[in-house]
Amino acid sequence: MASRAHVHDHDSGEGLVPVEEYVEGILARIEPLAPIEVQLQQTLGCVAATDVRAREDMPSFSSSAMDGFAVQAGDVEKAGPDRPVELRVVGRARIGERPDATVGGGEAVRIDTGAPIPAGADAVVPIENCLSSQESVRVLEPVPSGKHVRPAGEDAVPGDLLVPAGRRIGPPELGILASSGAARVLVHPRPRVVVLSTGDELVDPSQLPRFGQVRDANAYTLYGGILEMGAQPILAGRVRDEVEEFREAILSQLGQADAFVSSGGVSVGERDVVKRAFFKRGEVEFTRVAMQPGMPQAFGTFEGQPYFGLPGNPVSAFVSFEMIVRPGLLKLAGRRDLHRPRVTAVLETEVTGPKGKTAFARVRVRETPEGLRASSTGGRSSNLLTTVARANGFAIIPPGVERLEPGQECRVVLFRVGS
Ligand code: AMP
Ligand code: MG
């Protein structure tokens, strides 16, 4: 029997790099892609490269929120149903047009919803509260100054921040940019990310695996994760555990990629292709990270383009993507908020992890009248992809803690919202 001293303890964190430290180290080596100016429609999903500020009042003119009469509030102060105030109708304010009259004392201008408020007027009396003829209107209620008026600059005034640098442009930002006249916008381009799967055993999802073969799941998980975070995945296929094949796959993509992600081949096995391909070149560093799953990691740069080498187990690959690759790609894309939201939830089941590492336990978080509750979606092994598919978060079991009991609070990284 081997003496205990020679048995590697997989639960120990000894000699491993803490996960936060590993991620920070990678982020420090990634710079956002150089900004480009693109047409408004093409900015959807891209990240604003500069603060976009209002250059004019939004809205640019004050308008009526009602169909009715634009008046001076002071004139109708004492109006009531039994003592109407009669005003002379001096003109018309139509939507999209300059009003054809101004409002003086004792005067009113007929106005439509959305039409500019004529000069002199400071309130609108809705049509329902007036009796009108051609030349005059009898106002049956008082209106305070500003009533039913949408003031110019109510939404934003020149200099107001409309879209901050680092914000991913979504539908509301497109609307704001359009409204403010930003027809072209300076954005960081979407990173083009090459995805590679390594392993002699891998086959395409459309294939029937022979005994011992495995369908390539990681390429698809990574594809989804990359697309979802706003980058552009390039599926470069599967490579066998051959050093030359792997190098060739990387080198052939160098010109058209901003980053690389591969799965598999980063452990210590003799077939571990990534390790052998880069071992001597020194461009890629192999690190044992104090996390579970996802301990063996590789990171480096090729001609300045980041390369992430993830372990092959599907859960390890996913957790590694979420905790390490995603923040890195977000930084490359110009984002400033790089991390998933975290919440505190009360456990409904126990979760466990190896003592020396940060464990990311797959849990389902749900909202209850008593607050957030989290329950484990299954076992700890890193090949159990269904446990991820049922989960929406990773419960964090910090180093030094092996077990969190039902009823205890824990921090959870939420990697998806909604069903
Ligand atoms: P490796 O990190 O290459 O040692 O792979 C660890 C385990 O994950 C092995 O059982 C592989 O068959 C499996 N694996 C590696 N890559 C993939 C993949 N792309 N899809 C599904 N399973 C994979
Ligand atoms: Mg492999």
* Atom number of ligand 1 nearest to Cα 238: 19
Ligand 1 centre and the CA of 287: distance in Å? 18
Report the run of H or E that residue 223 belongs to, with start and end.
Answer: helix 218-228
Whole-prediction pTM? 0.90
Closest ligand (CA of 204) = 1
Q: How many residues does the chain have?
A: 419
Ligand 1 centre and the CA of 314: distance in Å? 7
What is the pLDDT, as a whole number, of residue 2? Answer: 44
What is the pLDDT, as a whole number, of residue 223? Answer: 98
Quick count: other Cβ atoms within 10 Å of Cβ 217?
20
Nearest to 34 by CA among 47, 51, 52, 53: 47
Distance CA 89, CA 80 (A): 19
Asked whether 68 lines ligand 1 (CB < 6 A), one says no
Q: Residues of the chain whose pLDDT is less than 70? A: 1-8, 270, 279-282
Per residue in 230-289, pLDDT (tens digit) is: 999 999 999 999 999 998 999 899 889 999 999 999 987 767 788 778 755 558 899 999
Asked whether 202 lines ligand 1 (CB < 6 A), one says yes
Task: Tell the residue nearest (CA) to atom 7 of ligand 1.
Answer: 313
- Structural domains of the chain in order of their starting residue, each with its CATH number: 17-33+190-332 (3.40.980.10), 37-55+160-188 (3.90.105.10), 63-150 (2.170.190.11), 342-414 (2.40.340.10)
What is the pLDDT, as a whole number, of residue 280? Answer: 54
What is the pLDDT, as a whole number, of residue 93? Answer: 98
Q: Burial-class residue 419 by CB neighbours within 10 Å (0-12, 13-18, 19+).
A: exposed
What is the pLDDT, as a whole number, of residue 385? Answer: 87
Distance CA 210, CA 56 (A): 66
Ligand 1 centre and the CA of 37: distance in Å? 41
Which CA distances in Å does 410 have to 192, 294, 395? 36, 21, 7
Residue the block writes with tokens 């190896």:
354
